[in-house]
Amino acid sequence: MRRAVRGILVVLTLCGTSVPAVSARAAEAGRVAEAGRVVPVPLERLFDNRAVSDDSRPAAADFDGSGASLSARDLTAAGWSPGRSLTVQGARLTWPKRRPGEPDNVRAAGQDVRLGGRGDALAFLVAGTAGRPVGGAGTVAYADGTRSGYRLTAPDWRTGPLATKAVALPHINTPAGRLTERARLYAVTVPLVPGRAVASVRLPRASGLHVFALSVRTATLGWTGSWGTSTGGYEAVGPWTDRTLRLVVRTSAGGSRVRVRLDNTFASAPVRIGGATVAVRASGAVPRGTPARLAFGGAAGVRIPAGAQAYSDPLRFTVPAGADLLVSFHLPGTVTAAPVHRLGRQRSYVSEPGDHTADGSAGAYTSEITGRPLLAGVDVGGGPGSVVLLGDSITDGEKSTPDANRRWPDVLAGRLLRQHAVPRYGVLNQGISGNRVTGDRYPGDGVSTDAAGVSALNRFDRDVLAQPSVRTAVVFEGVNDLRWGASAEQVIAGLRELADRGRARGVRMLAATILPCGGEARCTAAVDAERLAVNRWIRGGGVFDGVLDFDAVVRDPARPSRLLPAYDSGDHLHPGDTGLAALADSVDLGLLRP
């Protein structure tokens, strides 16, 4: 049994495993006994490690036990200033309000943290310092006296994947000087029991696991995603100085309240939004009526830190189902690179200099773009929840008619709106052209010319689990893995992991079989053999909650390795409008019900 003695460092050994030393003061604060019970305390009272140093005094902090630390200057440049509230993966996390050299994180050693709120997940801001991923089991205590377990793993702050980071900083401070080396911080979520009020959280016992912030994620509750898109990379844009972007988006579910989400994913610097509006589109860049002003925490604009998100305040505004909206936002500074979804298949607009968010005409919007910078979601209040379609270029709409909303997710959304057998779910298209299940096309950091994104495995938490009120997810990927040399076994292992992760969060997981692509240069007979092996596993594996047999819908019966000519766009890989409609029309809507 552990006893805390003030001023002494305590080291425990459990089953032969050394648990990190924590100060008796922190241990005492986290495990105070009153009448035989543990009294949890706020996380900041447990801080026992110094991770951040001033560049002029690097020895004032020692994050990893060897004297290395994060740069306070780099954090501020990224918008992660002390006490700043950040939204990452839909969760509000506060960067510790500590000066450089002061304790700003806790080494996880079984402490009990006081925490409140109801939500779908716990969110941790963490990093490891063991040179490898570190983790362990913890416990959530609820106000009704029940408990649930969780497992938290933190990637290493110097060697962890850039594809899943919350933010990367360009330097590491050491007593010998500054190193030009990326330092990473991670936002990691774990599931909660739905509907139960959290009372406290017991941290894992894990050597080298550091916790900076902890919260209950509530942003996804009470909203239905009406439109969404996935960031494929951090690309050079414009440059835009004092310009307004007016982006066209197609709604699925409708509602009487609206909010938008702007994502600064993968960025290394903050971006400032001067103002934003939403309107129903009449035509082109012309709104129907006066655009409605959006606010962010009561302010007209917002500064979004690197790697973070900004949700607009809920606004009473009628969002029609199956209609075009105009979301306009002003960029008052100079923007040379931004998170972008490249394949929009939809014209949007860039203005002449000035804030033109409230313009009722299209006169100022003299330039067109087809990608979607910064804007990642439009949600409506209430509703039945969302269906997320995680895919590649076939889901993204490659070869569909531009400006016509003929992607298969659009056709599926239209079917849902015209029926009454199942709820009229919002449909979120999280397809990225070129995306793969297992391999990153974009490395996850820096400005890149490749907009095919990080792998489905690495974007699953952000693009599926963090979406508003997600009920069902459809995974429709794998052809790009196979075309570029992955084996059926590798794709199957990735799909299995996606299914397990989604189901662990209470999401109904469906898989779609991979389409034939014979006749396309990389779709050799060997690739087709691997494709058939993956499809056999999808159909018979029993891992997913249901199967959409898209292969059977569009293949040519006379040549099963090829698309039916009527469905082929002409490149033998992507269905055209008719083929995409056939995919959507084949979906058994009953499979979408959780």
Say how many C-beta atoms besides its own lie within 10 A of residue 61's C-beta. Answer: 25
Q: Torsions phi, psi of 131, nearest 5?
A: 80, 5
Q: Are 152 and 188 in contact (CB under 8 A)?
A: yes
Bridge partners, 389 (sequence order)? 429, 474
Average pLDDT of span 486-501: 98
DSSP code of 80?
Answer: -
Which residue, 149, 124, 122, 143, is CA-closest to 196?
143
> What's the pLDDT score for residue 369?
97
Half-sphere exposure at residue 36, Cβ-oriented, CA atoms within 13 angstroms: 0
> What's the pLDDT score for residue 594?
81
Question: Residue 16 pLDDT more than 80?
Answer: no
pLDDT tier for residue 36 given thresholds of 50, 70 and 90: low
Q: How far apart are CA 478 and CA 493, in angstroms?
A: 11
Average pLDDT of span 468-479: 97
Strands (E), 420-558: 426-431, 470-476, 508-512, 546-548, 555-556
User: How far is C-alpha 490 from the chain's CA centre?
Assistant: 23
Q: What residues contact residue 420 under an 8 Å CB cut-off, 6+ apart?
A: none
Average pLDDT of span 387-410: 98
Average pLDDT of span 494-517: 97
The DSSP result for 201-263, as a single string, is: EEPPEEEEEEEEEEEEE-TTTTEEEEEE----EEEEEEEEEEEEEEEEEE-SS-EEEEEEEEE
> What's the pLDDT score for residue 27?
47
Q: Are 499 and 544 in contact (CB under 8 A)?
A: yes
Q: How far apart are CA 591 and CA 421, in angstroms?
A: 11
Strand 375-381 relative to strand 367-369, pairing: unpaired
78-101 per-position pLDDT tens digit: 999 999 999 999 999 999 999 999
> What's the pLDDT score for residue 79?
98
> What's the pLDDT score for residue 390?
98
Q: How far apart are CA 465 and CA 476, in angstroms?
A: 16
Question: Residue 245 pLDDT more than 90?
Answer: yes
Percent of the chain with pLDDT over 90: 92
The mean pLDDT of the chain is 94
Question: Residue 220 pLDDT more than 90?
Answer: no
143-173 per-position pLDDT tens digit: 999 999 999 999 999 999 999 999 999 999 9
Q: Are 474 and 437 in contact (CB under 8 A)?
A: no
Percent of the chain with pLDDT over 70: 94
308-356 per-position pLDDT tens digit: 999 999 999 999 999 999 999 999 999 999 999 999 999 999 999 999 9
Q: How far apart are CA 100 and CA 87, in angstroms?
A: 22
> Cα-atom radius of gyration of the chain, to the nearest Å?
25
